[in-house]
């Protein structure tokens, strides 16, 4: 069994190692010949550090433009790249290809499922933490768990996991209400990511009393939007859930902080942008979310101007 992985960043490499360790063949799909040559120079090895031990996985690699057929596809691209990347790869997908979307944000997964129908599509959220320290080299900062569930489940279809995922040495939970899980991840990301990116702090620093009012206001706005969307979030308050995640990932730097610091595009549009757009459609006010959305947009433009100067 072979899994192709689209998106060779931190999460893509983390799951490449996990799938390879479970006995699956793995092919990384890269954009350029230069990336292909870079992996070749590493002897096609993906390296993942787990609890101070390096785990090495030998993988194959192809460019997206290659012509071989794809039967199993894991998509780990940034949310803003997802649809374009899937459209580029779709001619290679077998008619019954299994596809797992493991991305931040909300809304683009459903669009991808429509574009790829009637193939079986799973969406996933993971609490695994990982940061890239070099090309195809990742440090796992937290094992976490991964929830996945079918987005397009026809009547009588199999409710099980994708091929090979039950053998991963990692907790994978089949979730019958994956849209709620996607919303839960979205809500937490919409609080932690823009705040850490703009304040330049690690997740745990948000536990400081100086940030409590911002956290409370953000959580209230997001809960109001979810309520109007008739989307339940947590059994506790969103604030309690955010504080728990911030404590459990205290030393982590959010992906938005990493991207903004490096001058890369962020997923602000697919996270906070989605919240604000949903609020506008429903006549709900989200002043602090809108302020953070505009602030991250401003910082992205400023970084771009600095790089071009």
Q: Which pLDDT tens digit goes with each residue over 84-135?
A: 988 899 999 999 999 999 999 999 999 999 889 899 999 999 999 898 999 9
- pLDDT class of 279 with cuts at 50, 70, 90: very high
12-16, 73-77, 158-162, 214-218: segment of lowest average pLDDT: 158-162
Q: What is the pLDDT of residues 215-257, one digit of tens each?
A: 999 999 999 999 999 999 999 999 999 999 999 999 999 999 9
Contact 221, 229 (CB under 8 A): no
Q: Give the pLDDT confidence score for residue 154 in this predicted structure.
A: 62
- pLDDT class of 307 with cuts at 50, 70, 90: confident
Q: What is the average pLDDT value for the chain, to the nearest integer?
A: 94
Question: What is the spatial distance between Cα 133 and Cα 135, in angstroms, rounded to a whole number?
Answer: 7
Q: Give the pLDDT confidence score for residue 220 in this predicted structure.
A: 98
**Residue 83 confidence (pLDDT) above 90:** no
Residues labelled as active-site residues:
185
Over residues 16-29, the mean pLDDT reads 97
**Residue 46 confidence (pLDDT) above 80:** yes
**Residue 276 confidence (pLDDT) above 70:** yes
**Residue 67 confidence (pLDDT) above 60:** yes
The verdict on pTM exceeding 0.85 is yes
Q: Give the pLDDT confidence score for residue 247 in this predicted structure.
A: 96
Q: What is the pLDDT of residues 135-193, one digit of tens each?
A: 999 999 889 999 999 998 765 556 789 999 999 999 999 999 999 999 999 999 999 99
Question: What is the spatial distance between Cα 190 and Cα 184, in angstroms, rounded to a whole number?
Answer: 10
**Residue 296 confidence (pLDDT) above 80:** yes
Q: What is the pLDDT of residues 254-267, one digit of tens each?
A: 999 999 999 999 99
Q: Give the pLDDT confidence score for residue 306 in this predicted structure.
A: 80
- pLDDT class of 198 with cuts at 50, 70, 90: very high
Q: Give the pLDDT confidence score for residue 157 in this predicted structure.
A: 59
- 304 compared with 120, residue with greater pLDDT: 120
Catalogue all structural domains in the chain, each as residue range(s) with its CATH number.
2-175 (3.40.50.720), 180-308 (1.10.1040.10)
């Amino acid at each position: 069994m072979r899994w192709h992985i689209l998106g060779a960043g931190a999460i893509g490499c983390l799951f490449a190692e996990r799938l390879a360790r479970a006995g699956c063949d793995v092919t990384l799909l890269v954009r350029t010949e230069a990336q292909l040559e870079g992996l070749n120079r590493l002897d096609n090895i993906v390296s993942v550090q787990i609890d101070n031990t390096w785990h090495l996985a030998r993988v194959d690699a192809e460019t997206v433009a290659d012509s071989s057929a794809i039967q199993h596809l894991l998509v780990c691209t940034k949310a803003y790249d997802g649809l374009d990347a899937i459209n580029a790869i779709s001619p290679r997908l077998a008619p019954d290809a299994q596809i797992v979307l493991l991305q931040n944000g909300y809304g683009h997964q459903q669009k991808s499922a429509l574009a790829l129908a009637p193939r079986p599509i799973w969406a996933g959220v993971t609490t695994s933490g990982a940061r890239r320290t070099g090309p195809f080299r990742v440090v796992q900062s937290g094992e976490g768990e991964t929830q996945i569930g079918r987005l397009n489940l026809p009547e009588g279809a199999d409710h099980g996991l994708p091929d090979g995922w039950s053998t991963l040495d990692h907790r994978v939970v089949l979730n019958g209400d994956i849209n709620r899980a996607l919303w839960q991840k979205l809500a937490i990301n919409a609080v932690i990511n823009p705040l850490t990116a703009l304040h330049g702090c690690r997740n745990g620093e948000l536990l400081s009393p100086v940030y409590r009012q911002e956290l409370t206001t953000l959580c209230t706005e997001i809960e109001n939007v979810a309520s109007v969307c008739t989307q339940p979030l947590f059994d506790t308050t969103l604030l309690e859930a955010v504080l728990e995640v911030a404590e459990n990932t205290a030393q982590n730097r959010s992906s938005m902080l990493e991207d903004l610091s490096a001058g890369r595009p962020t997923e602000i549009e697919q996270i906070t942008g989605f919240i604000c757009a949903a609020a506008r459609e429903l006549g709900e006010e989200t002043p602090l979310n809108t302020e953070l959305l505009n602030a991250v947009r401003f910082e992205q433009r400023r970084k771009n101007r600095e790089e071009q100067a």
